[in-house]
Amino acid sequence: MWLNGKIIKITNQSPTTKQFWIQVPEVENIDFRAGQFVIMDLPIHEKRLKRWRSYSIANAPDGTNVLEFSIVKLEGGLGTTYLFEEAEVGTEIKFKKPAGVFTLPADVSDKHLVFICTGTGVAPFRSMIFDLLNKEKAFKSLHLIFGTRTEEGVLYKEEFEKLATERADFSYDVALSRAKSDTFYEGYIHQIYQEKYKEKREDVKFYLCGWSQMVDEAVANLTEEIGFDKSQVVFELYG
């Protein structure tokens, strides 16, 4: 099912990332599960399949008809070039109904949830985190591990830092791969989960989202080196 939406707000989130809010006027509620994505049909090619681009929803389901996206501009990418350079408030966007299986099970009350991501891979986790909190679902703990190059690229930084101060069951760690920092880890995100989850446990579930190289390395580290069962590691690739 295709929906017709309209961009109602655009903000600069980082030097390479923008936030887009899209409203669907003809429905009162967009039904989706936290962690899902939409396929946008952008006017960038004559052939239909070459116009389609997938973007994860960054906001939690809240009963409204507005979806939020965190999108990074890809060098030479036709889709993001259009969104960054041509799209504006009022631009109409055609997209498919939200889909995808990168979602949490109904019951996570017995789990410590660890979300590992790089860049805009944080979007589905933001949706999941606030969906859990808004619906007051039970869980043992939430740990968000975010990786990027420099501090300018830390997405939703203030939001997650505030959450970490307000809730004892939420922790937040950031790794910067190309910058010195007195606040965050220096290097890659792998050092964080390898340090904090260095022994196999059955009550932990890992969710990974980001570029394929990071995800592949993390899956190998968690399952082959540390020994977590493959069923404890769920991932979504961004390319």
Q: Which two tokens stand for residue 47?
A: 């052939």
Q: Give yes or no: residues 130 and 48 share one domain.
A: no
Q: Are 145 and 173 in contact (CB under 8 A)?
A: yes
Same domain for 114 and 207, yes or no, is: yes
Cα 197 to its chain centre, rounded Å, is: 22
Residue 63, Cβ density class (10 Å: 0-12 exposed, 13-18 middle, ≥19 buried): exposed
Which residue range forms the structural domain that includes residue 49? 2-96
Global pTM reads 0.96
Q: How far is CA 48 from the centre of its chain?
A: 26
Task: Say if residue 68 is in the same domain as residue 182.
Answer: no
Which residue, 185, 39, 207, is CA-closest to 122?
207
Q: Are residues 21 and 84 in the same domain?
A: yes
Same domain assignment for residues 225 and 127: yes
Both 119 and 204 in one domain: the answer is yes
Q: Are residues 123 and 200 in the same domain?
A: yes
CA distances to 40, 100, 134, 161, 163 from 214, rounded to whole Å, are: 25, 21, 30, 23, 26
- Between CA 164 and CA 171, with CA 166 as vertex, the angle to 5 degrees is 20
Q: In the chain, how many domains are there?
A: 2
Give whole-number Cα distances, 209 to 27, 87, 125, 160, in Å.
Answer: 30, 26, 8, 17
Structure tokens at 205: 């579930």
Residue-by-residue pLDDT tens, the chain, 239 positions: 889 999 999 999 999 999 999 999 876 678 899 999 999 999 999 999 999 999 999 999 988 899 999 999 999 999 999 999 999 999 999 999 999 999 999 999 999 999 999 999 999 999 999 999 999 999 999 999 999 999 999 999 999 999 999 999 999 999 999 998 888 999 999 999 999 999 999 999 999 999 899 999 999 999 999 999 999 999 998 75
